Structure 1
Amino acid sequence: MSGHSKFANIKHKKEKNDAAKGKIFTIIGKEIVVAVKEGGANPENNSKLRDVIAKAKANNMPNDTIKRGIERAAGDANSVNYVVNTYEGYGPNGTAIIVDTLTDNKNRTAANVRNCFTKGGGNVGTTGCVSYMFDHKGQIIIAKEDCDIDADDLMMMALDAGAEDFSDEDDSYEIITAPEDFSQVRESLEKEGIKMAEAELTMIPQNYVDIDDPEVVKKFTRIIDMLEEDDDVQAVYHNANLPEEDDED
């Protein structure tokens, strides 16, 4: 199963998000504010906002909540000005970690991110120190249980829309796009009524680092969990291949 660990990680992340809707809705709410400020409140003329709305729907955010978020962002000229920042660093065993943040206080965020790395035995590095190990891509995950289309037909649909790659995994399909083609591929699939479990721009590792030592796993997991719990953190990417968790909970 180790070859499919990244999909297990996606599923695990999804389950964690489902158990903490407040956090994921806060993340998406901030992205709505930024998208509206950059391109206006009309999704038809704002591809970034369309992408955020798609992400919101994939995370089961109610339409009323999405609409209110857009209206609030459009109507409040004095709303918070969020600054986008990305941090890069190393976790235990030389693992690479990238942290995307959206904050109204860069000093606070920088201190918090540094603290998360330190407590797990890692360290923040300079810009570019690990990002070269990742590819910036659009990623769409479709759960097989939500899709009744034949795999070959879905693949041709995605490739015809402009996707770069299509993978048929154990319990899901993964569609990869160039960042600039992500919106059109996602919208093409959406028009066909295809339900997406994940739909977002992401950083995909070129190679994975296996971590088997339980103590190292514990340290690494502490970094990731602390980062994901921080209100200023929007997304965390890493190249660790962790042992699968037992379904105790």
Structure 2
Amino acid sequence: MSGHSKWSTIKRKKAKIDAQRGKIFTRLSKEIIIAARNGGPDPAGNMRLKTAIEKAKEANLPNDNIQRAILKGAGGGDGANFEEFAYEGYGPGGVAILLYVATDNRNRTAGEVRHILSKHGGNLGETGCVSWMFSEKGVVVIERSESSISEDDLMLVALEAGADDVKVEEDSFEINTSTGDFEAVKSALIQQGIPIAHSELAMLPQTYVKLLGEEAEKMNKMIELLEDNDDIQAVYTNFEAEE
């Protein structure tokens, strides 16, 4: 068992979804549009679209919104021509920052990202400066209060299905998988009647940087502002907050 807990971060994001539902719905719809545009409208043959739909349903995005977004992406509706790319940079204390962006105005987004980073002790870097520190993994979270399964039994199910790692936290089990085994692990858990609190494909850092005091406050504020930006689809860092 190894790794770094994501559940507290996920719960914070879930609370933000409730507080800023309209903004989050826009971001989720944009991801569905892009996934359908790039890989087709059938989630059975488009893993990115399938994952995007699952995330949208988890956030209670109405089915009508989901279908409209798929239609736009597939060319049956009037949708924006979003451009996708990544920004890499640093936060206080040398924390690595990896941002995934979908925008219809690259200049606007670049200016907003630079402003947020520079105002809170960070800066943009060159392409490749931090992305090597991250690996794409599947993350599946089981909330302990929602499942009666024992630690040993969960590990057996997850590892036999192809999971790389199971981390035991006070309030959750967090399972990491390769991208190729992500769906197989989720299916195995569902077949065993184990409720999944959250699942996603995410960029996980290999190591973490712990910040304290003012630096941690700046980093938290920076992440909050980046996540609030309409053009930023995902924010990944190797920041570890003080308990």
TM-score higher than 0.5: yes
Aligned residue number for residue 86 of structure 2:
86
The Cα shift of 1:59 comes to 2.6
Alpha-carbon distance in 2 for matches of 1:14, 1:69: 22
Alpha-carbon distance in 2 for matches of 1:116, 1:91: 10
**Matches of residues 24-63 of structure 1 in structure 2 within 5 Å?**
24-63=24-63
* Residue identity matched to 1:97: I
* Runs (5+) with no aligned partner, structure 2: none
Question: Secondary structure in 2 aligned to 1:136?
Answer: strand
The Cα shift of 1:72 comes to 4.2
Q: Deviations over 1:89-143 (max 9, x none)?
A: 1111111111111111111111111111011011000111112222221111121
Alpha-carbon distance in 1 for matches of 2:89, 2:98: 7
Aligned residue number for residue 236 of structure 2:
237
Aligned residue number for residue 216 of structure 1:
215
Aligned residue number for residue 138 of structure 1:
138
| TM-align CA RMSD | 2.2
The Cα shift of 1:4 comes to 6.5
Alpha-carbon distance in 2 for matches of 1:120, 1:58: 32
Question: Secondary structure in 1 aligned to 2:55?
Answer: helix
* Residue identity matched to 2:225: M
Aligned pairs, number: 241
Aligned residue number for residue 201 of structure 2:
201
Question: Secondary structure in 2 aligned to 1:179?
Answer: coil
Alpha-carbon distance in 2 for matches of 1:137, 1:70: 25
Question: Secondary structure in 2 aligned to 1:80?
Answer: coil
Partners of 1:163 and 1:178 within 8 A in 2: yes
Q: Deviations over 1:45-102 (max 9, x none)?
A: 2222111122223333344433343244335354212121111111111111111111
Aligned residue number for residue 70 of structure 1:
70
**So what's the TM-score if we normalise by structure 1?**
0.86
In the alignment, is residue 148 of structure 1 matched against residue 153 of structure 2? no
The range that moved more, 158-167 or 3-12, is 3-12
* Runs (5+) with no aligned partner, structure 1: 245-249
**Matches of residues 104-183 of structure 1 in structure 2 within 5 Å?**
104-183=104-183
* Residue identity matched to 2:44: E
Aligned residue number for residue 247 of structure 1:
none
Aligned residue number for residue 224 of structure 2:
225
Displaced runs of 4+ in structure 1, greater than 6 A? none
Alpha-carbon distance in 2 for matches of 1:227, 1:72: 26
* Residue identity matched to 1:229: D
